[in-house]
Amino acid sequence: MHVLRDHAPTPFFLQHQIMLPQRTPLRNIDGNRRGRGPNLTPYDRGQISGMYQCGKTPTEIEAELGYSRGAIRHTLETLQHRNEGTPTPKSGTPVKYDSRSRRHMLRCLRNYPKMTYEQRRESTGLKMSDSYIYRLATENGLTHWRAKKRPELSEAVAANRLLWCKCRAHWKVKKWREYMWSDECSVERGKRNIQEGKGYVYNGLCSLLGVWGTVRSVDP
């Protein structure tokens, strides 16, 4: 006695050796999903508009130019809203934070320039991403300027300074008023081109400001 078993039909893609589309990770397989091609150029839109004005149908334009029917129909529908075939501006990502929240973060950026991104989020209570805070600071002219590294105080220099103080520990106030203490500071903004010898050649985008000041005691 023979038992007949039902055999499932061979799938269509196995019969014709059709490659299935690649599956996006963590997404169900969709055989109708197709990749989106590049945007049409103003020249391409001009071709579609010209052929349509000459009496061609969207199907005939698709067969002759090779563009998708949806792209052709969308071009013809938005033809009156385009400026010489240029792409229409996109609305972009909607604003997530209002002006009050942005001003709050800007105050934090101005008052505490050395805070980290995480410290700023904890201080303001705003869950802004690092890139959003960076763009907000850049758009409002807040950027970091790298400070020049100064040499650390060595033990030999510290010993010389201590010796200098001990030698003058017996000075009175009148004696100290005969001297002035001076210091200088330079602030550079921009970029230098090349180095020539001991100096630098500055371009038009670089500015250098030097400040020199003195401190002394005066009679009351």
Q: Cβ–Cβ contacts within 10 Å for residue 3, how many?
A: 4
Least confident span in 70-79, 91-100, 149-158, 195-204:
195-204
The yes-or-no verdict on residue 2 having pLDDT over 50 is: no
Chain center to CA of 141: 14
Chain center to CA of 72: 35
- pLDDT at residue 105, as a whole number: 93
Q: 147: alpha, beta or left, given left = phi > 0 and alpha = psi -120 to 50?
A: beta
pLDDT bucket at 190, cuts 50 / 70 / 90? low
Please report, for the chain, the start and end positions of each structural domain, with discontinuous segments joined by +.
37-88, 99-139, 176-220
The yes-or-no verdict on residue 90 having pLDDT over 50 is: yes
- pLDDT at residue 9, as a whole number: 55
The yes-or-no verdict on residue 202 having pLDDT over 60 is: no
Angle at 191 (CA atoms; ends 185, 192), nearest 5 degrees: 85
pLDDT bucket at 13, cuts 50 / 70 / 90? very low
- pLDDT at residue 32, as a whole number: 47
- pLDDT at residue 141, as a whole number: 83
59 close to 50: Cβ distance less than 8 angstroms = no
pTM check: above 0.85? no
- pLDDT at residue 191, as a whole number: 60
Q: How far apart (Å, rounded) are the C-alpha atoms in residues 21 and 16?
A: 15
Amino acid at 218: V
Q: Kindly compute the dihedral angle of the four CA atoms of residues 99, 105, 110, 115, in this order, to the nearest 10 degrees.
A: -170
pLDDT bucket at 203, cuts 50 / 70 / 90? low
pLDDT bucket at 205, cuts 50 / 70 / 90? low
pLDDT bucket at 45, cuts 50 / 70 / 90? confident
pLDDT single digits (tens) 152-171: 889 999 999 999 999 999 99
Amino acid at 85: G
Q: How far apart (Å, rounded) are the C-alpha atoms in residues 58 and 70?
A: 9
The yes-or-no verdict on residue 28 having pLDDT over 50 is: yes
Host H or E run for residue 189: strand 181-189
Show Cβ contacts of residue 203 under 8 Å, excluding neighbours closer than 6 positions.
190, 191, 192, 193
- pLDDT at residue 60, as a whole number: 85
pLDDT single digits (tens) 99-119: 899 999 999 998 988 889 999
